[in-house]
Amino acid sequence: MRTHIYECAKLTLDFITMMMLSRYIFLIRPLKKKSEKQIASPQFLFIALAYVLILAFCILSGTIAGSIVIGIAMAVYCFLTSTGTKKKRFLSTLQFIPIAGICYGLLMPLETLPVTILHLNQQAEEIYAMGLYLVLGIILISFLFSGREWRKNFRQELHYRKLEIWERILLYVIGILMYGFVAAVYSYYNINPDNFEQIAMLESIMISMIGFAVTMTVMILILVGNKNAHMHQELLEMQHNIIITMADIVENRDESTGGHIRRTAKYVQIIAEELLEEGWYQSVLNRQYIKDMVIAAPLHDIGKIHVPDSILKKQGKLTDEEYAVMKSHTTEGRKLLLHAEKSLGHFSYLDIAVEMAYGHHEWWNGNGYPQGVAEHNIPLSARIMAVADVFDAIVSQRCYKGSMSIEEAYAIIQKESGTHFDPIVVSAFLKSRDKISEALKEFESPELHKESA
């Protein structure tokens, strides 16, 4: 019984490690649903079926049979997740060799070297291995729970990230070398199981090779990562500057200086950080989401570029027909940003910009526009932008109204909590009054009271 548990634990760790290597190192995309009608995820079904088969063969025929099933499962997984011609897909199944090689190369020294050096018997070896698997299992479980934000960002990056040729070659060479060396050590162990010194020497050489390969890989990745990070930062800054410029052009059409878009972006950041600190909306809100909202916020009124000057700059009250045209800036903004996303590629801040542009005039009670959706059916980013946008509109003078005091603005926001605005967002806004007031002064200009939304 103890031996079966030991063998199953070993194969479980091997399988989990290979699946994680395939996802996070080899960047193999998971299996996806072919249609929305599928209830269960193909990825989950595949992993569950493969794991059941691995355990069944392990219990019935031993560790070797279970290891063979893992190899077959990984080869099938590589085939199912690959694209292109049949020849290319069949060749992709060979990826399981470097994946398995790196897995065994990482785990084998931990499993066998202490056993070899200390000359442990089978029972002591199994007890040591079970302790090792328990520790590694705890580390993996902690990663599953503590690494949610990282994995979410990773999935977003995976849409347009793939291995470079040099990265693929490096992984394949290291994986195949590890696979060959592990096989050699196990073969020697089966032939000369009592020659502990020779086995320990071979394992030590293997660890040295792994250490050298890992060190060189890390050095190369750090150098390339620094270069890519610098380029990525420059790209983001350029995109942000373009966004501000585009938003300024739209705002300037009604004689605005752009202070509105900078202030509302700052309000959005302050409100979101307060929500994050208080632990609200944890399934959505994180540091990356806040960064994306701040970048996207200036685009919330981009659709006004389609509103004629005669309506945008009208001094008096709009007619019903004119108001309908004005309201169309939400749907026009969404169209513009979706078109931009098709041209520029997928960026998470553009997704949020679409939400803000389309939903910042929705009301918590469903009386807003353009969809008339209510409560949590309104995206969080749009609910936050709604508070920021209305607050700045109240304290600014418009072509159709005068400005009001900051205290009156706070009172109006509080009064409309639960009707116009998300009560939780309003609460975070009011708790940040000092920061909001500072932001208002920070971006204040002589034209503040001429700003328009």
Distance CA 139, CA 259 (A): 48
Q: pLDDT confidence of 293, banded at 50, 70, 90?
A: very high
pLDDT, one tens digit per residue, over 209-252 is 666 666 566 656 655 655 565 566 666 666 666 666 666 666 66
Which residue has better confidence, 272 or 104?
A: 272
CATH of the domain at 342: 1.10.3210.10
Which ranges of 82-121 does DSSP label H, i.e. alpha helix? 86-92, 96-118
Residues 224 and 137 in one domain: yes
> Which of 229, 244, 276 is the last residue before a domain boundary?
229
Helices and strands in the chain, H and E counts: 19, 0
Residues 165 and 278 in one domain: no
Distance CA 256, CA 348 (A): 28
Residue 238 lies in a domain: no
Residues 445 and 338 in one domain: yes
pLDDT of residue 7: 84
Q: What are phi and psi of 34, to 5 degrees?
A: -80, -25
Residues 293 and 209 in one domain: no
Which ranges of 279-363 does DSSP label H, i.e. alpha helix? 287-296, 309-312, 320-327, 329-344, 348-359
- pLDDT above 70 (res 135): yes
Cα 47–chain centre separation: 22
pLDDT of residue 447: 45
Nearest to residue 246, comparing CAs of 236, 255, 237, 258?
258
- pLDDT above 80 (res 63): yes
Which residue has better confidence, 109 or 289?
A: 289
pLDDT, one tens digit per residue, over 115-129 is 777 777 778 887 888
Residue 69 lies in a domain: yes
pLDDT, one tens digit per residue, over 8-60 is 888 998 999 999 889 888 888 888 776 656 667 888 899 999 999 999 999 88
Q: What are phi and psi of 409, to 5 degrees?
A: -65, -45
Task: Say what the pTM is.
Answer: 0.51
Residue 246 lies in a domain: no
pLDDT of residue 153: 67
Distance CA 81, CA 266 (A): 43
Residues 315 and 190 in one domain: no
- pLDDT above 60 (res 401): no
Nearest to residue 335, comparing CAs of 309, 363, 305, 314?
305
Residues 212 and 309 in one domain: no
pLDDT of residue 391: 92
- pLDDT above 70 (res 298): yes
What separation in angstroms does the CA of 178 have from each of 23, 109, 175, 284? Answer: 19, 11, 5, 41
Residue 37 lies in a domain: yes
Residue 91 lies in a domain: yes
Residues 77 and 192 in one domain: yes
Residues 130 and 7 in one domain: yes
pLDDT of residue 450: 42
Distance CA 397, CA 402 (A): 5
> DSSP state, 401?
B
Give the tokens for residue 376.
């949590």
Q: What are phi and psi of 398, to 5 degrees?
A: -115, 165
pLDDT of residue 57: 92
Residue 57 lies in a domain: yes
- At 396, which amino acid appears? S
Q: How many domains does the chain have?
A: 2
Indicate the Cα dihedral angle 402, 405, 410, 412, nearest 10°: -40
Residues 272 and 217 in one domain: no
pLDDT of residue 209: 64
| b/e map 117-132, b = 16+ CB within 10 Å | eeeeeeeebbeebeeb
Distance CA 256, CA 202 (A): 74
Distance CA 444, CA 449 (A): 9
pLDDT, one tens digit per residue, over 173-190 is 888 888 887 777 777 666
Which residue has better confidence, 203 or 373?
A: 373
Distance CA 334, CA 326 (A): 14
Residues 208 and 268 in one domain: no
- pLDDT above 60 (res 318): yes
Residue 442 lies in a domain: yes
Over residues 130-146, the mean pLDDT reads 82
Residues 31 and 164 in one domain: yes
Residue 239 lies in a domain: no
pLDDT of residue 248: 65
pLDDT, one tens digit per residue, over 359-397 is 999 999 999 999 999 999 999 999 999 999 999 888 876
Domain that holds residue 124: 2-229
**Percent of the chain whose pLDDT exceeds 70:** 75
Residues 220 and 296 in one domain: no
